[in-house]
Amino acid sequence: MKIILSVEPIKFPLTGIGRYTYELAKGLQSSNEIEELHFFSGTHFLSGIPTAKNTSDGSHRLKNIVQSNSLAIEAYRLLMPRLKKKALRGYERCIFHGPNFFLPPFEGPSVATFHDLSPFKWEHCFDPKRNRFTKKEMLGALSRANGLITVSNYIRNEIHEYFDYPLEKIHTVHLASSPDFYPRKAEQVSSVLNKFGLGYKAFTLFVGTIEPRKNILSLIHAYRSLPRELRTRYPLVLSGYKGWRNDDIMQEIERGQREGWLNYLGFAAAEELPLLYSAASLFVFPSHYEGFGLPVLEAMSSGTPVICSNSSSLPEVVGDAAMTHAPEDIGLLTELITRGLTDEQWRKEAVELGLSNATTFSWQSCTRQTLDVYQKLANND
């Protein structure tokens, strides 16, 4: 097989889709089933997988600049595909894989990875100008692709139902967590605990973008309903970028900080995040909508008990290793958090089940299943 992998999503520090693309690139590079492997970014081919030293990309910087202007967005949307098409001329015998939904015009077979449909299902959580651009690109990819990869069965079925896209052309390939996430002892995480003034196994953690889709207001309201002694002993710690429409959430965060039981860290550095996960007493993720739910897998891999919503793909990822709740059921969430912090028997079982469940997700499996999709495209199956 001859493969072209778009590596544009690889930006350091690696997060989310960047991590997925990086791990997939490494896996494909070590495969003996691939005759030719090309890495494509912007409008040119790279000599290898991007590293922290060489990820500066003119097209990426240009994209960030133009996305603040509607006319510039449309000009970029029309111009870049033409430049990419020209750069890809002569490679039609290859399979092109876009790991972040985008597919340029390409005469050969192509496959795109769709991580979720949030630009369509949760568009009020995004900047309208940028989201219009994203939706047009996703629709373009759907029309060009010979097949799709999704990161969960939930998203596979959702794409089929939402776009009436043939189910047999959609293939589920689960993600995995970085090897940086594993259980650690107190002395191994002391640096990050000292920096943020936290105690080992003495706080509840949430990691995710500060936006309505993550249901953070419900988490804060549920935590405020805990007995004062419990929420003082185990403060709620939030880490993540500030997303679109976060004003109401930030007001509640600031109120919780004034009351002394909430700590907002902002976006934690890549080297700090695994330490926070393993140091937490409990990880809570009440999100309304996820395509996969990598944070819950990272928590399980870190040996931290998990509570999450029963929405979208999350039950598919946690299996029977977590306590779940309906996203809107704040009362039940309060009860589950109380149990999660105080029921030592459940905590022990949750750690064991979580670690066991996490081993069923691996980048080796992700690569293997992706190769199977390529083979189907090569065989015109």
* Domains, in order of start, for the chain: 2-176+362-378 (3.40.50.2000), 186-358 (3.40.50.2000)
Instruction: Judge whether 122 and 135 are in contact, CB under 8 Å.
Output: no
What's the pLDDT score for residue 125?
86
Q: What tokens were used for 156?
A: 């596979």
Contact 218, 224 (CB under 8 A): no
What pLDDT, on a 0 to 100 scale, did the predictor assign at position 86? 96
Burial label, 191 (beta-carbon count in 10 A; 0-12, 13-18, 19+): exposed
- Which region, left, alpha or beta, applies to residue 243 given φ > 0 means left and ψ of -120 to 50 means alpha? beta
What burial letters (b/e) apply to 150-177, b meaning 16+ CB within 10 Å?
Answer: bbbebbbebbbeebebeeebbbbbbbbb
pLDDT at site 74: 72
Q: Are the C-beta atoms of residues 375 and 35 closer than 8 Å to each other?
A: no
Place of tokens 């140091």: 279
Residue 52: its pLDDT value, please? Answer: 77
As to burial, measured by CB atoms within 10 angstroms (0-12 exposed, 13-18 middle, 19+ buried), residue 123 is middle
Tokens 């670690």 belong to residue: 355
Q: Distance (Å, rounded) from C-alpha 210 to C-alpha 36?
A: 41
Residue type, 359: T
Residue 75 pLDDT:
76
Q: Radius of gyration of the chain from Cα atoms?
A: 21
How would you label 39-59 residue by residue, b for 16+ Cβ within 10 Å and e otherwise? bbbbbeebeebbeeeebebeb
Q: Which position has the token pair 């290793």?
A: 321
pTM over 0.95: no
Task: Please give the structure tokens belonging to residue 300.
Answer: 């399980």
Q: Give me the pLDDT at residue 56, please.
A: 46
Give average pLDDT by consecutive 10-residue segment, the chain, 381 residues: 98 88 97 98 96 59 57 76 94 98 96 98 90 95 98 99 98 96 98 98 98 97 98 98 93 98 96 98 99 98 99 98 99 99 99 99 98 96 70
Return the pLDDT at 13: 81
